[in-house]
Structures are given as structure tokens and as C-alpha cells.
């Protein structure tokens, strides 16, 4: 029976648990075909916890970190011959905080990827991290070993708001480091800004946008709304009155609109509902490929991936990870079989992300011929429903463009359309 604890959506998807996950991984490799793909490398550790982050795993000492890097390199080398047969479109070092690793550790992992995997000629290789983890000389070394994109979590330039979020670097330090990195001119430099922070006013948000456009030379930008889960330390601080509340939905939407208008006025190219490029070198390729639920080859503790219609999650416990990698086995803790509608839903998700339009016929083309007509009818009917609610606008060619309301929040719409696709298969 298909699990329904995870709903169909832009991020999650239901799957049926399969026994013997390492064996399932090897079967999936054997069934792999040449499709677009990403390679994800997870660095789970952070030296400190940001109170707004839901992905915190914990810290590690120098000895454990060094051993983890050694094992991760071993895992990459072990599976290169089989998993590296087809071109990889994007490589992403995520976390956690990958920039907390030293230059030598990151270089060794970059070299392992380049040596063991067939990278597409235009492969995007991203290293994620904090502003104080990318010293200019370290960034130059990463670029020399293949990294062509740095993704840095800034959140806000406002020093007072940063302190509320547990961030250390102040406005002056951030701007100085960003300028030093931009001057290297060897990679796409991408940052994020969050809106709807505790106590953030429209004026402070507009000041952040003005600083971005007047005082930085970044290649790309993610505009995200801060979402505070009840289980996070930030939520507890707000409940206790230690921090002011976050802005409500309509205020957050107004901030979103202000951000979008600032990007439009600056001539930025909108790549997705939340991502903007200021120059051609910024492509956001990893997220573009991942959004359509293409193959993702996962490496490292806690990493999650997809291959040949299966979903994989790796061990999060260091001892188990070490034992399996040392034995030459893939350290997957769980494996699941994705349902038949997964490909069509992936096509839909990719369209929502980029080009921010829904084309029912193209979604249906990803389904088997036996259900194709029903899928197209289901998507078109659903799109018309969401158009009535103000989330989509019908276009002359038969497609539906996302409105700004949908760009702000489209998860409910995406989930509904995917469930309609699933029903068309039954």
C-alpha cells in the first residue's frame, strides 16, 4: 500500500518502502538511463545553530570531520564507475555548512568528483556556505579545482536583524567580503535575502533591497520568505516574547511584491518564482534540474536522492555510515518505490519552477499513452480552477501563467494538481 504520510508536492512525494536498501540502490544503478541529473554531496555539520534553520544536525570536532571527509571521498570513488556513466548537469555541496570545511578538504572532494564522474561540459558546481567561510584565497582554490558557483546565506544586511537570527558578521563585514569575492571573477556569486523576519518593517526590507542593488556585485539572488516552524528555537523565542512576531501573510506578500519590483527595475532576469540573475553566468542549474524531480545521485550522511523511479535516504548516524562505506556498500538507510505518476508530476513541478507556466499537454506527454488524455484533462481542469482563485492566468497558446500570488505561494496549488494527476492514473 502506498504511503500517504508524505503528500505529493514540490518537495515531498509518497513512496512505498522497499526492503534491503543497498540492494535496491544497485538495482537502480543497473536500470539507470541517460537523463538530466544532479549530484548532491551533503556536509551535515554546522559549528553553530541558526535559530531559524530546520536542517541543523550538529557540530563535529576536527577528528570526526576529517574522518567524514575521508569516508565521503571513499564513497564518491567507490560508485564513480557505475553512477558516473552519464553526464552530470550540476553538482551541489549542501548542508549543514560546507564552507565550514577547510580548503584542503573541499578541494579533495572536488577532485574526487571530477576524477570519478562524467561532468557535462557546462556542469554547474556549487559550494554552499556562510559569508565568513569563504575567504578570498579559499574561494580561489575552490575555483581552481572546478567550483564555479558559490551560494552564500546572507538573509539580511541589517546588523540588528542579523543578531536576532544568530548571525555573527555585520553589514560592513558582509559587504567587504562580497566585494572581495566578486573581484575574483571566477564564479557565479549568489546570495539569499529573507523577508518577513521578526520585527522587520517594510522600510527595513526596502533598505536591504537598496543595499543589494547599490553596494554589491552579486551574480544571482534568492528571495525567500522566512517560515517559522513551531519546533524551531526562533519560534520559542517569539512565543516567550524575547523577539517580536513575524509579519502576517499580507504584509509578507507586500514585501514579496516589493522585492520582485526591485528586481524588475534593476533589469534582473527571473529564473524561478524566487530566483533572479543579474548576469548570464548565473543559471541556477541545480535547482532547475532538481525541480522537475530528475535523477539526483546522493552522497554523504543524511543525503536524499532519486534514481530509476526509486527514492533513497542515507544513514544519519556516523557509525552506520562509516561501517557501510568502509565495507564498500552504499550507505542507504531507506529506499522507496515512487508511484507511476511521478514522472508527470515531476514535469508539472518543473514547469511551475521554470518557466513559471503550466502546459497541460506537456505534462500529459510525460505519462503513458494509456492515461495521457485523462492526465491532460485533469491538469487543464485543475488549472482552470486555480485560475478562478487568482493563481493562474490562461494564455492564448493553451498554457497557464503563474500570477504573482502563485509565485509567492504555490505549494497548495502544486499539491492539488499532482493529486489530480494521480487520480487520472486510477
Arithmetic mean of pLDDT, 211-224:
98
What are the two backbone dihedrals, phi and then psi, of residue 134, each rounded to the nearest 5 degrees? -120, 75
Average pLDDT across the chain, whole number: 95
Name the band, by pLDDT with cuts 50, 70 and 90, for residue 53: low
- Over the stretch 66-102, which tens digit does the pLDDT of each residue have? 999 999 999 999 999 999 999 999 999 999 999 999 9
User: What's the whole-number mean pLDDT along residues 22-31?
Assistant: 97
What pLDDT score does 3 carry?
42
**Contact of 268 with 221, CB cutoff 8 Å:** yes
Q: 38: which residues sit within 8 A by CB, 6+ positions away?
A: 88, 89, 90, 91, 92, 286, 289, 290, 294, 295, 296, 297
pLDDT of the residue at 319? 96
**Rounded mean pLDDT, 299-317:** 97
CA distances in angstroms from 242 to 199, 236, 238, 257, 267, listed in the order given: 11, 9, 6, 29, 39
The predicted model gives 328-347 an average pLDDT of: 98
Q: What is the pLDDT of residue 110?
A: 98
Contacts of 378 (CB under 8 A, 6+ apart): 420, 421, 423, 424
Q: Residue 166 has what DSSP assignment?
A: T
pLDDT at res. 182: 98
Pick from 259, 260, 257, 226: nearest CA to 243: 226
What pLDDT shows up at residue 5?
59
Q: What ranges do the domains of the chain cover?
A: 16-290, 342-425
pLDDT (tens digit, 9 = 90+) per residue, 252-277? 999 999 999 999 999 999 999 999 99
Q: What is the pLDDT of residue 4?
A: 44
Instruction: Work out the number of other CB atoms within 10 angstroms of the CB of residue 4.
Output: 8
Percent of the chain at pLDDT above 70?
96
Task: Please give the pLDDT value at position 46.
Answer: 85
Instruction: Pick one of 3.40.50.1100, 3.20.20.70, 3.30.70.3000, 3.40.50.300 as the CATH number of 16-290.
Output: 3.20.20.70
224-238 average pLDDT score: 90
Q: Is the peptide bond before 173 cis (omega within 30 degrees of 0)?
A: no
Cβ–Cβ < 8 Å for 62, 4:
no
Q: pLDDT at position 1, please?
A: 35
Question: What pLDDT shows up at residue 2?
Answer: 39
Residue 358 has, within 13 A of its CA and on its CB side, a CA count of: 33
Contacts (Cβ under 8 Å, ≥6 apart) of 355: none
Candidates 155, 127, 150, 134; CA nearest to 52 is 155
Q: In the structure grid, which three cell numbers stand for residue 274, read together?
A: 524566487
425 pLDDT above the threshold of 90 = yes
Cα–Cα distance, 87 to 105 (Å, whole number)? 24
Residue 59 has pLDDT above 90, yes or no: no
pLDDT over 90 for what percent of the chain?
A: 90
Query: Burial level of 163, CB count in 10 A (0-12/13-18/19+)?
Result: exposed
Would you state the cell numbers that stand for residue 292, as one nine-digit string? 522537475
pLDDT tops 60 at residue 388: yes
Residue 49: the pLDDT is 66
Q: In the predicted model, what is the mean pLDDT of residues 335-345?
A: 98
Mean pLDDT of 338-360: 98
* H/E element, 48: none
Q: What is the pLDDT of residues 120-167, one digit of tens each?
A: 999 999 999 999 999 999 999 999 999 999 999 999 999 999 998 888
β-pair type (16-18, 332-337)? antiparallel
Three-class DSSP category at 69: helix
Residue with cell 553538482: 91
Cα separation of 305 and 12, whole Å?
A: 12
As given in the structure block, the three cell numbers for residue 184 are 575574483
pLDDT tens per residue, range 182-197: 999 999 999 999 999 9
Amino acid at each position: 500500500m502506498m504511503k500517504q504520510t508524505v503528500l505529493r508536492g514540490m518537495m515531498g512525494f509518497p513512496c512505498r518502502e522497499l526492503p534491503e536498501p543497498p540492494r535496491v540502490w544497485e538495482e537502480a544503478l543497473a536500470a539507470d538511463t541517460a537523463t538530466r541529473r544532479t549530484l548532491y554531496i551533503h556536509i551535515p555539520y554546522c559549528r553553530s545553530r541558526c535559530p531559524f534553520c530546520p536542517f541543523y544536525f550538529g557540530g563535529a570536532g576536527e577528528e570526526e570531520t576529517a574522518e567524514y571527509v575521508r569516508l565521503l571521498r571513499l564513497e564518491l570513488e567507490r560508485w564513480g564507475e557505475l553512477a558516473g556513466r552519464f553526464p552530470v548537469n550540476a553538482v551541489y555541496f549542501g548542508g549543514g555548512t560546507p564552507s565550514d570545511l577547510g580548503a584542503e578538504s573541499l578541494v579533495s572532494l572536488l577532485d574526487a568528483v571530477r576524477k570519478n564522474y562524467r561532468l557535462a561540459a557546462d556542469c554547474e558546481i556549487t559550494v554552499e556556505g556562510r559569508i565568513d567561510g569563504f575567504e578570498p584565497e579559499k574561494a580561489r582554490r575552490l575555483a581552481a579545482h572546478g567550483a564555479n558557483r558559490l551560494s552564500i546565506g546572507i538573509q539580511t544586511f541589517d546588523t540588528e536583524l542579523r543578531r536576532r537570527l544568530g548571525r555573527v558578521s555585520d553589514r560592513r563585514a558582509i559587504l567587504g567580503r562580497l566585494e572581495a569575492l566578486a573581484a575574483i571573477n571566477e564564479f557565479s556569486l549568489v546570495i539569499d535575502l529573507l523577508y518577513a523576519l521578526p520585527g522587520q518593517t517594510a522600510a527595513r526590507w526596502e533598505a536591504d533591497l537598496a543595499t543589494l542593488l547599490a553596494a554589491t556585485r552579486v551574480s544571482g539572488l534568492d528571495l525567500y520568505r522566512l517560515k517559522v516552524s513551531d519546533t524551531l528555537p526562533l519560534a520559542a523565542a517569539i512565543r516567550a516574547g524575547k523577539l517580536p512576531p513575524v509579519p502576517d501573510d499580507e504584509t509578507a506578500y507586500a514585501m514579496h511584491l516589493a522585492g520582485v519590483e526591485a528586481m524588475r527595475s534593476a533589469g534582473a532576469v527571473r529564473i524561478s518564482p524566487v530566483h533572479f540573475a543579474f548576469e548570464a553566468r548565473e543559471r541556477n542549474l541545480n535547482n532547475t534540474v532538481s525541480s522537475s524531480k530528475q535523477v539526483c545521485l546522493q552522497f554523504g550522511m543524511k543525503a536524499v536522492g532519486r534514481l530509476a523511479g526509486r527514492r533513497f535516504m542515507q544513514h544519519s548516524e556516523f557509525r552506520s555510515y562509516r561501517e557501510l562505506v568502509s565495507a564498500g556498500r552504499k550507505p542507504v538507510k531507506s529506499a522507496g518505490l515512487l508511484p507511476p505518476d511521478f514522472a508527470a508530476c515531476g514535469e508539472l513541478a518543473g514547469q511551475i519552477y521554470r518557466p513559471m507556466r503550466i502546459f497541460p499537454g506537456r505534462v500529459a506527454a510525460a505519462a503513458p499513452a494509456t492515461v495521457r488524455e485523462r492526465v491532460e484533462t485533469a491538469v487543464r481542469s485543475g488549472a482552470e480552477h486555480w485560475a478562478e482563485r487568482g493563481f493562474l492566468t490562461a494564455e492564448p497558446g493553451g498554457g497557464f501563467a503563474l500570477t504573482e500570488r502563485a509565485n509567492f505561494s504555490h505549494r497548495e496549488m502544486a499539491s492539488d494538481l499532482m493529486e489530480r494527476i494521480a487520480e487520472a492514473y486510477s
